[in-house]
Chains A and B, each alone.
Chain A
Amino acid sequence: AQSVTQLGSHVSVSEGALVLLRCNYSSSVPPYLFWYVQYPNQGLQLLLKYTSAATLVKGINGFEAEFKKSETSFHLTKPSAHMSDAAEYFCAVLGDYKLSFGAGTTVTVRA
């Protein structure tokens, strides 16, 4: 069965600093991987997805993620954090039409 593990439940960054959120996956087949963002009191919004095309995936709001098969990782990055990036971020893997989510990482941005 496919699963993902997010390393770090909370990340605090300064405005303008690099944002790095870590996700490792476990899958017996080539995975389809996703990053979602959840702003306070809202549902989840798709940031980006990996579907076995390019290993570097660009998403919305300046985020990107790199698929590394050798490390079974799909880490999310943004070069320069903005106050509006404060949210909870979820990594997910698709298996049997169903998404399995990580526990989430809450990002706070310091002025």
Chain B
Amino acid sequence: DVKVTQSSRYLVKRTGEKVFLECVQDMDHENMFWYRQDPGLGLRLIYFSYDVKMKEKGDIPEGYSVSREKKERFSLILESASTNQTSMYLCASSPMDRPSGYGYTFGSGTRLTVV
């Protein structure tokens, strides 16, 4: 089975801190995604990447950046954490060669609280 591993289940950070959320997948998938999940809003796409060193903005990229130095790892960076970034963050991956009709595999999520 494809595994998508997010390094932390729970994080508590202070306002203004730089925060790194790490995601690793083990099935050589080209595509990787970061979503945030908030009650009543579903999942909203922050950033995604089709390949190493490539990144594309999603629907809500403000206040975030990403890094993909290796194919298996996709990091989400909060440059200066704010309380409105308190949320559940979900990482996902999918293969490039079957994009149509192929869903994502998700990690278990990181619940981030900014105080």
**Residues on A facing B (Cβ under 8 Å):** 6, 9, 32, 34, 36, 41-46, 49, 51-52, 90, 92, 94, 97-104
Contact = CB atoms under 8 A, between A and B. Distances in A.
A110 B105 CA distance: 30
A43 B107 contact: yes
15 contacts: A43-B107, A44-B92, A44-B106, A51-B101, A52-B101, A94-B99, A98-B45, A98-B58, A99-B45, A99-B92, A99-B104, A100-B45, A101-B43, A102-B42, A104-B40
Tell me the dominant secondary structure on chain A's binding face.
Answer: strand
A97 B31 CA distance: 8
Closest 9 CB pairs of A and B: A51-B101, A43-B106, A101-B43, A103-B42, A101-B42, A44-B106, A43-B108, A46-B103, A32-B101
Nearest to A105: B42
Given A90-B42, A97-B99, A101-B42, A42 B31 contact: no
Interface string B73-115: 0000000000000000010101010011101111111000000
Contact of B50 (A9, A36, A52, A97): A97
Contacts of B44: 101
Interface residues of B, number: 28
Interface of B: 4, 9, 31, 33, 35, 40-45, 48, 50, 58, 90, 92, 94, 96, 99-101, 103-109
B100 A94 contact: yes
Contacts of B33: 98-99
B42 A42 contact: no
Nearest to B56: A98
Contacts of A9: 40
A105 B93 CA distance: 23
B59 to A, nearest CB: 8
A32 B98 CA distance: 12
Nearest to B4: A43
